[in-house]
Chains A and B, each alone.
Chain A
Amino acid sequence: MSAFTGIGEDREIDQEEFTPGIEPQATWCPGCGDFGVLKALKGAMPEVGRTPDETLLVTGIGCSGKLSSYFESYGFHSIHGRALPVARAAKLANPGLEVIAAGGDGDGYGIGGNHFMHTARENHDITYIVFNNEIFGLTKGQTSPTSPKGHKSKTQPHGSAKDPVRPMSLSLASGASYIARTAAVNPRQAQEVLVEAIQHDGFAHIDFLTQCPTWNKDAKEYVPYTDVQDSEEFEFDTGDRREAAEAMYEAESRLYEGEVLTGRFYHDPDRPSYGEEKRAQGDVPEEPVAERYFGDGEWERTADELIDRHT
């Protein structure tokens, strides 16, 4: 019998199962966009058919990092910027787990930028939700990597001289195989995109626009928004890197001009995930490595396998 009977369970799943029956109350501010992420994620899980027991949510630090406290599943609330390496290894160790990682714009595009680039490059089968509110919230309102150029804050009193990070372009250039942008104010689309992202076998990156009513009052509440899939102006093939790149560039530029473009920007369903590549190479066994520790299978000894080389 499997050591992980929670994995692959086939039954009706109710989104309320993902609400923890325990304190704490969310510490997010009233009107915070983060509530939108939580709601969309809870809504998506029954659709993708994964239970709390077979889901591992790895988060970083900050307001976004608290998602794992308010979402019922196995959780790992890690440290600033490091959610992705933790999530990657968990997925390699046990590919049966549904592994979702989440963090903020400072967390994911700043301190964790290196991990973001390499996780995308390797195309790990992980869904990565970045709460993008263009501000550091929990540390009380400093300029973040996605804050607009000229943004004034206590740490940038003369205004930021830096161009903001272009998250989707960065993601595409790095190798992510599913890239979307959605917004907390757009619950229907957010849930739809999350379902696609979780079902996608590869690195799915969602730049999730979340308003910060406390520290980023200037920031638009991301309405009105345009869904690029419904827009006549944006007819592009989400499977074509060049067209996707152009659409992303447009969307990322116009965000700072007050126009919010959301939707699916890139989707390559054919690229095998890193885990699949490794298993195909014979580099990683077919059976989840984590499963072995609970079985009664044979364990190789170095004395039998390797010592001859030294005699």
Chain B
Amino acid sequence: MTDQTLMWRIAGGSGDGIDSTSQNFAKALMRSGLDVFTHRHYPSRIRGGHTYVEVRAADQPVRSRGDGFNFLLALGDSFARSPQEGAYYGNEKVKPLAENLDDLNEGGVVVYDTGFFEEEDIAEIRLEERAQQEGWHVYPMDLRALAREHGREVMRNTAGVGATAALVGKDVSYFEELVEEAMSGEVMEANLTILEEAYEQASEFEFTHDLRVPTGSHETDQALMSGSNAIAYAALDSGCRFIAGYPMTPWTDVFTIMSQNLSDFGGIAEQVEDEIAAAALALGASHAGVKAMSGSSGGGFALMSEPLGLAEMTETPLVLVEAMRAGPSTGMPTKTEQADLEHVLYTSQGDSNRVVFAPGNLEEAYEQTRTAFQVAYDYQIPTIILYDQKLGGEMRNVGVDFFDREPDPSLGATLTEEEISEAAHHESGKFERFRHDPENGVSPRSIPGQTGGRFLASGNEHNTVGHISEDPDNRKAQMDRRMRKLEHVREELDGRDQSHQTRHGPADAEYGLLVWGSQQDTVFEAVDRLNAAGHDVKALGVSDMLPYPEAEVREFLESVRECVVVEMNATGQFRGLTQKELGQYGEKLSSLLKYDGEAFEPGEVVDGFESSIDGGQPAAGNMKFVPAAGD
């Protein structure tokens, strides 16, 4: 094996520290100059149960998980063992090894903890036989004993990292440095000893593999972050100083990051009784003059459709986050999907409008969250950041300078008391907060407590000062004004130097791939491979859902013969949206769908595209191809 890309999978039991170990591992590789990307897989349970994290690393940009993986560190599931006989979790202890072998690439490397896997377990899964067939290189090590000897059993993760470092030819000092930073005292000493000891032990093997990870270099300082980090930091940089929420996977990540940091930024974080309250609190705070957000995942967001509509009708700026997971109902809490698009676009009654962004990667998550705040406050309309479990949980390195932005504490179309005194008032003294006439649909607001700014914000249809009104002329004028906002948002977004939509591949390519949200970078990698294999393909990653970037998508679709829409749901929701918004292209658009809870791998998109242009179904049964109308 001569592949210089490391696709390292650490597998163990939930609650055994797989996540934190993989983060440190990725960070050490990043510090050594490599580009890294992590992919998390975990079950919906707290302790025990098979979990893994993949870290892909190379000396060139990596923006997606790979196809399969080439290095397995199988630690064993400590919670599969019961203190009493008759284990709680039955035969699961061998899963971290057994469950992962199917995806391990030919010629891959395996390190497993002999302290956890007994000989009969190994015999049962026919490891030796399969290793011969697949050309795997197997290095059994008693990591548990090593950890116990110098510290505690839980430190076997550290031992595994030390062994990995030796086997891929990575200087152990990068890992030592992280241990020294993250720990202190005896714990640090023990971990350092275990790290070095495992490194030494692994170095003594006779290496039969030749997977060597190079040392790269970065032009700027790098940070390792998740999509959830990017969203939360963008919110803070946007001047968001209020969040209310209720925990629900995977939205909890953003909620937690905000809650842990807001007080240091002089803000307020509230965990409340339910999601209706959460969104209503964010609304109340925003009404009172604080930039605010809330959010949830599908099921919790369903409860927010009431306050969402109220925000639209009262024209209270509000930013909501929707972190998709597999549904319907509570679905699969820890698995990824892109099936809440229609839910987010259309929930709430009446001709209710909102702006929906669907970032495709870490940078877009940051950029679009900033845009979401700016648009919400400039246009007094709810905005939604729609992403998924994959984007929220995956980590990548990104230049530190990317985050070096000026804060944006602007409340948008909000008046100062001086401006209020010059603004139009009804003869009664009430401020005309909902005037019909503004060209872009936005009537500037006042904040409770400001002298002379009194008005009524009402979820009922209302007149210019906010009083309930069912007058037909007023109704039409108010509706028209509120609906004008979306046109102006679209114009503003189209007028920006940098579009939210991302093009990839040769401009004159014959075939197109259309993709939205977190699958963008995976599809872009697939495009490169397809073109290298002689196809003629380009892709467009769409990140604005509503208002829809009609002109850009139309131009793209006009330029290709056929186009496959790649998305993680069973009903082709984005393809449907595209056809609805553009009013055509039913004949041109087909769908490559995946809805088994896992994100696409680039190779799957390659496979899906190749089989689709032949008119067949993908070879891998975990995907579905839906042809264009009339095909």
A interface residues with partner B (beta carbon < 8 Å): 3-7, 9, 20-24, 52-54, 56, 58, 61, 66, 68-69, 72-79, 82, 85-94, 96-97, 114-115, 117-118, 278, 282-285, 289-290, 292-294, 299-303, 305-307, 310-311
Select which of A53, A82, A86, A292 is within 8 A of B266 by beta carbon: A292
Q: Chain B 62-84 against A: per-residue CB contact (8 Å), 1 yes, 0 no? A: 00000000000000000000000
CB-CB under 8 A from B263, the residues of chain A are: 282-284
List the 4 closest pairs (A to B, CB-CB), nearest first.
A89-B284, A21-B428, A4-B449, A290-B289
- The answer on a CB contact under 8 Å between B264 and A86 is no
- The answer on a CB contact under 8 Å between B405 and A3 is no
Select which of B289, B403, B459, B465 is within 8 A of A78 by beta carbon: B459
Select which of A24, A73, A87, A302 is within 8 A of B467 by beta carbon: A24
Known contacts A69-B467, A75-B456; A85 and B429 CB within 8 A of each other = no
Output the least CB separation between A101 and chain B (Å). Answer: 10
**B144 interface contact, C-beta 8 A:** no
- The answer on a CB contact under 8 Å between B225 and A310 is yes
CB-CB under 8 A from A78, the residues of chain B are: 280, 310, 459
**B157 interface contact, C-beta 8 A:** no
- The answer on a CB contact under 8 Å between B407 and A299 is yes
Select which of B274, B283, B406, B428 is within 8 A of A114 by beta carbon: B274
**B452 interface contact, C-beta 8 A:** yes
Of all chain A residues, which has the CB nearest B234? A302
Provide 12 A-B residue pairs closer than 8 Å at the C-beta atoms, listed in order of the A residue.
A3-B289, A4-B450, A53-B453, A68-B458, A75-B454, A75-B456, A78-B310, A85-B276, A89-B282, A284-B263, A294-B416, A311-B400
Output the least CB separation between B524 and chain A (Å). Answer: 24
Of all chain A residues, which has the CB nearest B468? A69
A58 to B285, CA, bound (A): 13
- The answer on a CB contact under 8 Å between A53 and B454 is yes
CB-CB under 8 A from A23, the residues of chain B are: 467
CB-CB under 8 A from A299, the residues of chain B are: 239, 407, 409
Of all chain A residues, which has the CB nearest B229? A310
**B448 interface contact, C-beta 8 A:** yes
A27 to B229, CA, bound (A): 50
Known contacts A3-B417, A300-B407; A24 and B237 CB within 8 A of each other = no
- The answer on a CB contact under 8 Å between A289 and B237 is no
Select which of B277, B283, B429 is within 8 A of A21 by beta carbon: B429
- The answer on a CB contact under 8 Å between A82 and B448 is no
CB-CB under 8 A from B239, the residues of chain A are: 293, 299
- The answer on a CB contact under 8 Å between A94 and B284 is no
Select which of A86, A96, A114 is within 8 A of B273 by beta carbon: A114
Select which of B222, B264, B291 is within 8 A of A293 by beta carbon: B291
A139 to B447, CA, bound (A): 32
CB-CB under 8 A from B407, the residues of chain A are: 299-301
Output the least CB separation between B316 and chain A (Å). Answer: 9
Output the least CB separation between A57 and chain B (Å). Answer: 9
- The answer on a CB contact under 8 Å between A90 and B448 is yes
- The answer on a CB contact under 8 Å between B468 and A86 is no
Interface residues of B in 237-255 (CB under 8 A from A): 237, 239, 241-242, 244
Select which of A69, A94, A301, A306 is within 8 A of B449 by beta carbon: A94
**B548 interface contact, C-beta 8 A:** no
Output the least CB separation between A86 and chain B (Å). Answer: 4
**B224 interface contact, C-beta 8 A:** yes
- The answer on a CB contact under 8 Å between A75 and B455 is yes
Known contacts A69-B468, A311-B222; A115 and B277 CB within 8 A of each other = yes
